[in-house]
Amino acid sequence: MNQPARVLAAAAPSPATAHTTMDRIAAELGRAVQGKEAQARLVTTCVVSGGHLLLEDVPGVGKTTLAEALARSCGLSFARIQFTADLMPADILGAQIFQAQTATFQFRPGPLFRQLVLADELNRAPPRTQSALLEAMAQGQVSLDGTTHALPAPFTVVATQNPVDFSGTYPLPDSQLDRFMVRMSLGHPAPEVEARLLATRGGAPALDAVKTVSSPEEVAQLRALAAEQRLDPAVADYVVRLARATREHGDIERGASTRAVLALGAAARAQSLWEARDFVTPGDVRAVLVPCWAHRVLLRSAVQGVTARDEAAHLLEELVRKVPAPR
Amino acid sequence: MRQGARLRLVLRDLASGCAFASMAVSGQLPLWTLGLYCVGLVAALAGKRLFARRAKLTALLLLGVAAVLVLNVTSGTLNLVVAACAFAGLISAHRLLSAPDPATDGQVHLSGLLMVAGGAALSGELVYGLFLIAFGVLASLSLALGVVEAAVPEGEPLPVRAVMPPLSVGVGFAVAGAMAFFILFPRLNWNMTGPRAAPGLGPATTGFSNTVRLGGTGTIKGNPRVVLRATLNPDPGGDALGAYWIGRTYDIFDGQEWTSAGGVKRMREPLLTLRPGGDNLVHQRVELLPAYGGQTLIALETPSRLGNAVANSTTGSRRAPLQEMYGGEARFAEPGLSYSYEAYSLPPGGSGDSFRRLPSVEQDALLALPEALDPRVSQTAARILNGEREPLAAAQKLAAWLQREFTYTLELSGDHDDPLADFLFERKAGHCEHFATALTLMLRTQGIRARLATGFFGGERVNDAYILRAGDAHAWTHVLVPERGFVTVDATPPAHRPSQGSKWVQQLLALYEALESRWRNSVVDYSFRDQVDVARALVRPPKGSEKAEQRRLPPPRAWGAALVAGLVVYVAWRAVTRLAGRPRPLDATRFVDAVEAVLASAEVSRRTEETLEELDARLAREHHPLTGALSPVTRRYLEARFGGRPLRQGEARQLLRTLEEAVTQHTRLTARASRAS
């Protein structure tokens, strides 16, 4: 286990300093998945915005590594749950155990009670389990037998799913996809990165290189800070106009929901921290628009999985060009 | 002082001036208050706040002024309302000269309102209306500028140019709203103490003296001031009435001037019956305006009964008793600025007075001739009449001769020893008094009883009333005809009887009269009843048309009014939504336009739908030499536009200048590089 690389600063982050912390986290993530700086920044943005992350990728590109690296760099407690067809809600949420000595039931928290949970191959679990997880994601708490158990803060779920192999899976309904702030894919590393991996790693786990550069408290502070970012009415109007454009687009069956609008606002707020600003610009909105909305719009064409995401991304980029940004 | 603040104060002072003027046009304020106020206003407009230092001490001056006014009121020379108005004006003047702070501003505006209310009580004339509107506009603009001034931080100039157009639009809407409010909102009818006796500006122009002097002074014929306004019943209709309105008669001529025999016949009667009348009398409701200036009642020839007289003076209006004088004159027993009364007149065709019923002094005077009468007058009359003895025929014969042989002129020849001989045998030109005198005396030389009558000739239609102007003053002859009494014979050529003004002046006056009359009907005398009428006229079918009443549907004009109202509301709504929906040209937006123009001059142009932010990021990626200059500008723009930190005054210009310098340097470098290559 690595030691924290530095003594955490006592002072709370400000818009002017937040990006240094975020840069540090993104740099550590970049260490784990090399050549994916943009994705590393996006993951950081997602965590700071207080959202959950959906990774859609073929196996073997480092999804799990990325999630673990995130937990480690931020010093978050971590659990990896492999979703399988026989996984039951109690397996992730926890259960009431009968204590013989006191003759009472006691709650034994499941693996979900961690600050960062990796829901690996989420679509392999039956819908009942999926929805138990998604409910916990939305509420930040778990209700069992009438008792509410708060999940540890900051609570983040990183879910992965394989977008190509659908056999034996329960695809996430679109309404549930909506609960993920950001969807992204890592994609295969560039050839030179793969070559370097081959040459240097030699089987040594990439995670060992990741240091803890932040703390759960700092992440919580960053989230609070991001939530405070000024969103000018003109920018808010821009977000709304974008949403309306998706709803009125001929190739889109169902446009961005209100939750999508809120999520885009939150993501743009976090994004604005990168520029050491205390307000959101249309540029911030545009930067996070595709990762934030591509999985939320339902296309008229019946394509599924990655192709659908690509097409949605393409449509959204086109919309960005059509809907004039406030000046 | 900031520039905008100076403008605000000037507007404030002018508004106060207008409010004062709205009272001053009534002409009732004492002259010294007028003078004091004007001095104060001029000093204030020149920026000399004389009382800024010792506000409390100088306020003692007001106490002195108040004391003088109270003295005037108690001695009865000044009406209480007028005194209060004058005092409000002087308070305003004192405030104008005090140090300009928010409290003072409020007091100035408040005193302005008081003065406007005072103006309404004093006159309410058309000119008052103009000053009222001017006060409303100026005071609103001043108040609005005050609000803007409070919102702009200290030390920054006021955006006067930017705020004036929307403020003006706002004031326009407010004025329109006030009018709508006036027309439609139910009102309380405050019967103000009503010293409605505005003499207007300038002295009275006519008036009946006890004598008529031939060759006197003044060219009254060209004077267009309205002296009388009357509504007739039955209404004869027609634009020009062309009637004789009699004031009084004269019977003794001494060769130079006319006088009357006798004096007061009856004292202080509420109702005068001059002569019995039949059934077909013409009723007149007459208003003698301040420009008239006399005390003699005017009525259509021949008056039968006069009464219901009210005299208006600076101290209020009250019932006025009447006096009857010899010579058929009726007078107000008390002086006033203006009067109103009712009269009944016999229809034209003779007064019905028989010779025997006349007082003996008048009987004697009707044939009297001046001692030094030129013998040629009698000879000429005898020659013209050629034996005609019937009084009316003789008079008409002489009148026709006078009209034929003599010309009308207003160029007076000054005093003569014998103006009549001068007229008849030398100049052969004169005005109505010459013609009338000549006819009267020529008749008398032939033993026919006659007298001189003076009053007005004419009657110009304005809306439903007839008016007489000072220029309509006229003189003619009364010939005593047996059985018929006095009959009017006019020796003046017909074209020269009524007012003689230049044509365009007449037209302008007619326009002014129409406006004034409309103002009176629609504003001054507009009442709750009129409001009800307006509303009713919109929905009720016109009276008398049974078919329309049976339909029980609103008349077409109601539909029309509703359509117009709907259209107006729709257009206003469209305009408002368009205005509201239109993106405001923010400072930051104008700034980014300017930045892009500068960049375009360096051939760095924005791609379609690329924001300045993205352009800046692209240039940074491309390591463009202008990045260093552009980045701070972009950042400042974003802050100003989306960060809630607007550009400070002059900051945009400064940033642009820096950017322009960088661009100039960049283009110079590239030019040099291309030359070198």
A91, A188: one domain: yes
Residues 6+ apart with CB under 8 A from B424: B374, B376, B377, B380, B438
Tell me, yes or no, if B596 comes closer than 8 A to chain A by beta carbon: no
* Nearest residue in A to B634, CA atom: A281
Write the pLDDT tens digit of every residue in B283-318.
999 988 877 878 888 999 888 888 888 888 766 678
Quick check: is A7 in a domain? no
pLDDT in tens, B590-629: 888 888 888 888 777 777 778 888 888 888 888 888 888 8
- A285 and A189 belong to one structural domain: no
Residues A283, B611: C-beta atoms closer than 8 Å: yes
Answer whether residue A63 is part of any domain. Answer: yes
Domain boundaries, chain B: 3-155, 219-496, 585-675
Please state the φ and ψ torsions of residue B600, each to the nearest 5 degrees.
-60, -30
| Chain segment B232-247, per-residue pLDDT in tens | 988 888 888 888 999 8
Mean pLDDT of B26-53: 88
Question: Last residue of a domain, which of A227, A245, A264?
Answer: A227
Q: Provide, as residue numbers in chain B, all residues whose Cβ is less than 8 Å from the Cβ of A281.
A: 611, 613, 638, 642
Per CB-CB distance under 8 Å, the chain A contacts of B641 are: 232, 234, 326-327
Q: pLDDT tens digit string along B143-175?
A: 888 888 887 777 677 777 888 888 888 888 888
A258 and A171 both lie in a single domain: no
Q: Tell if the CB–CB gap between A283 and B617 is shorter than 8 Å.
A: yes
Mean pLDDT, chain A cut into blocks of 10 residues (327 residues total): 45 80 89 84 91 86 86 90 87 84 84 89 86 84 82 88 75 81 85 80 66 88 90 92 90 88 93 90 91 87 70 88 86
In a domain, A1, yes or no: no
Q: How far is B612 from chain A (nearest CA, A)?
A: 9
Residue A5: inside a domain: no
Average pLDDT over residues B98-122: 88
**Cβ(A71)–Cβ(A206) below 8 Å:** no
Category of A299 on φ-ψ map: left (φ > 0), alpha (ψ -120 to 50) or beta: beta
Nearest chain B residue to A324 by CA: give it.
B609
Digit-coded pLDDT (tens) for B316-334: 678 888 988 877 788 888 8
Same domain, A55 and A188: yes
Query: Which residue range(s) make up the domain with A289?
Result: 229-326
Beta bridge partners of A299: A252
- pLDDT-wise least confident of A143-152, B133-142, B216-225: B216-225
If pLDDT is split at 50, 70 and 90, which confidence band does B195 have?
Answer: very low
A283: nearest CB among B592, B609, B614? B614
Domain co-membership, A65 together with A206? yes
Interface membership of B631 toward A (CB under 8 Å): no
Q: What is the pLDDT of residue A1?
A: 41
- Nearest Cα neighbor of A186 from A76, A39, A295 is A39
Domain limit, last residue, from A170, A203, A227: A227
Residue of B589, B608, B617 with shortest CB distance to A327? B589
Do A219 and A296 lie in one domain? The reply is: no
Residues A260 and A246 in one domain: yes
pLDDT at B15: 95
Res. B549: pLDDT tops 90: no
Mutate which: A241, A280, A281, vs B, most B CBs within 10 A:
A281
Inter-chain touch A280–B589, beta carbons under 8 Å: no
Give how far B625 is from chain A: nearest CA, Å: 21
Distance from CA of B511 to the nearest CA of A (A): 54
Whether residue A3 lies inside any domain: the answer is no
Q: Is the pLDDT of residue B398 over 70?
A: yes
Q: Which residue did the predictor score with more confidence, B503 or A87?
A: A87
Q: Among residues of chain B, what percentage have pLDDT more than 70?
A: 88
Return the pLDDT at B610.
Answer: 81
One domain for residues A265 and A180: no
Residue B64 CA, distance from chain mean position: 34
CATH code at A201? 3.40.50.300
Does a structural domain hold residue A6? no
Encode burial over B196-233: b for 16+ CB neighbours within 10 A, e otherwise. Answer: bbbbbeeebbbbbeeebebbbeeebbebbbbbbbbebe
Q: What's the CATH number where A242 sits?
A: 1.10.8.80
Please indicate, yes or no, whether residues A274 and A175 belong to a single structural domain of this protein. Answer: no
Q: Is the dihedral of CA A246, A251, A257, A259 positive or negative?
A: negative
Tell me the three state secondary structure of residue B161.
Answer: helix
Residues of A in contact with B617 (CB under 8 A): 283
Which residues touch B551 (CB under 8 Å, ≥6 apart)?
A: B541
Cβ distance B643 to A279 less than 8 Å, yes or no, reads: yes
Residues of chain B found within 8 Å of residue A320, distances taken between Cβ atoms? 609
- Choose one of A171, A194, A227: the last residue of a domain: A227
* Type of residue found at A20: T
A262 in B contact zone (CB under 8 Å): no
Q: Tell me the two tokens of residue A248.
A: 């009125």
B193 pLDDT band (50/70/90 cuts)? Answer: very low
Which residues in chain B are closer than 8 Å to A326, comparing Cβ atoms? 641-642
Positive or negative torsion for Cα B353, B354, B355, B359? negative
pLDDT for res A266:
93
Cβ count within 10 A of residue A192: 10
Q: Look up residue B588 and give its two tokens.
A: 């930051």
Residue type, B59: A
Residue of A nearest to B613 (CA): A283
Strand ranges across the sheet with A53-56: A78-82, A116-120, A156-161, A53-56, A182-184
Same domain, A250 and A137: no
Q: Integer distance in angstroms from the first to the last C-alpha of chain A?
A: 50
Which residues on B lie below 8 Å from A322 (Cβ)? 609
Are residue A178 and residue A45 in the same domain, yes or no? yes
Cβ count within 10 A of residue B514:
12
Count structural domains, chain A: 2
Cβ within 8 Å of residue B41, ≥6 positions away: B13, B16, B17, B20, B93, B96
Give the per-residue pLDDT at B513.
Answer: 75
- Whole-number Å distance between alpha carbons of B423 and B430: 6
Nearest to B185 by CA among B521, B516, B534: B534
* Per-residue pLDDT, B556: 81
- Is the distance from CB of B27 to CB of B201 less than 8 angstroms? yes
Are A185 and A240 in a shared domain? no
For B219-496, CATH number? 3.10.620.30
Cβ-Cβ pairs closer than 8 A, A with B, add up to 46
**Phi–psi pair at A277, nearest 5 degrees:** -105, 165
The secondary structure of B29-89 as a DSSP string is S-HHHHHHHHHHHHHHHTT--TTSS-HHHHHHHHHHHHHHHHHHHHTTSS-HHHHHHHHHH
Tell me, yes or no, whether A2 lies in a domain.
no
Of B589, B639, B642, the CB nearest to A235: B642
pLDDT attached to residue A262: 93
B198 and B26 in contact (C-beta within 8 Å)?
Answer: yes
Whether A303 and chain B come into contact, CB under 8 Å, resolves to no
User: How is B545-558 classified by DSSP, letter by letter?
Assistant: -HHHHHHTS--HHH
CA gap B258, B213 in Å, rounded: 6
